[in-house]
Amino acid sequence: MQMQIFRRTVLGLMVLGLTVSMLAILSCGGSDNDNTTQRTASLTGAAERPTPRTTNGSGSAVLTINDTQSQISYTLTYTGLSNVVQAHIHEGDANTAGSIFLFLCANGTLKANAPVPPPDCPTSSGTVTGTLTEANLIKLPTGSPPINSFADGVAQILSGNSYTNIHTDDGVAPQNTGPGDFPGGEVRGQNQ
């Protein structure tokens, strides 16, 4: 008899504990309300346009757009490159060499081309992280389509009409002599 009372008491406490736990989770927003959207790019020399590149370099970009589409957190990782000078998000499909509308990183005097100075780029291999907002946008009023606001830029990323590109430059003329010297871009990938 005592064993049955004990079992019922334990079972009742377990049900009570489970109920209280569920209420606590639900009251704290325990449901999955994370409305962020991710786009990723696999960066290769073969994807470069207008001229594919032969390179040992590769990389990836992960763009996480917040639920209000007012900021993009990014992680850019690359390896096998040398003389990296800058990396961007450009407007354009997989066959287009388009214009820059967001800087991911830059070195030296190239930082001055960004509306807000971006973080430094590791010169050979590494990871860069940051957050982009309206303040980081380079407007493209004559773009295809035009990018006049951060929302326009986010729309291009979400539609697949943007790519991430890493540029290299050895600083010695002539340009485009091989890996480590592709100022127009050494590796790129469509943001999908």
String of DSSP letters for 65-134? E-TTSS-EEEEEEEES--SEEEEEEEE--TT----EEEEEEE-GGGGGGSSSPPPPPPSSSEEEEEEE-G
Annotate 131-176 with DSSP letters as a single string: EE-GGG---BTTSSS-B-SHHHHHHHHHHT-EEEEEEE--S-SSS-
Evaluated on CA atoms 45, 46, 49, 50, the torsion sign reads: positive
Residue type for position 59: G
pLDDT tens for residues 71-124? Answer: 999 999 999 999 999 999 999 999 999 999 999 999 999 999 999 999 999 999
CA distance 79 to 57: 6
Report the topology of domain 37-190: Immunoglobulin-like (2.60.40)
CB distance 63 to 154 below 8 Å: no
**Which are the contacts of 69, defined by CB distance < 8 A and separation ≥ 6?**
150, 151, 154
Domains of the chain, residue spans: 1-33, 37-190
pLDDT tens for residues 92-102? Answer: 999 999 999 99
Residue 25's SS3 state is helix
Annotate 39-58 with DSSP letters as a single string: EEEEEBSTT-SSS----S-E
What's the Cα-to-Cα distance from 161 to each of 93, 95, 138, 183, 190, rounded to whole Å?
5, 10, 16, 22, 8
Q: Which pLDDT band holds residue 1 (cuts at 50, 70, 90)?
A: low
- 191: Cα within 13 Å, side-chain hemisphere: 31
Q: What is the pLDDT of residue 34?
A: 73
Average pLDDT over residues 38-49: 98
DSSP 189: E
For the cut 80, the answer to whether the pLDDT of residue 128 exceeds it is yes
pLDDT tens for residues 137-184? Answer: 999 999 999 999 999 999 999 999 999 999 999 999 999 999 999 999
Residue 38's SS3 state is strand
- Give Dmax (Cα) for the chain: 94
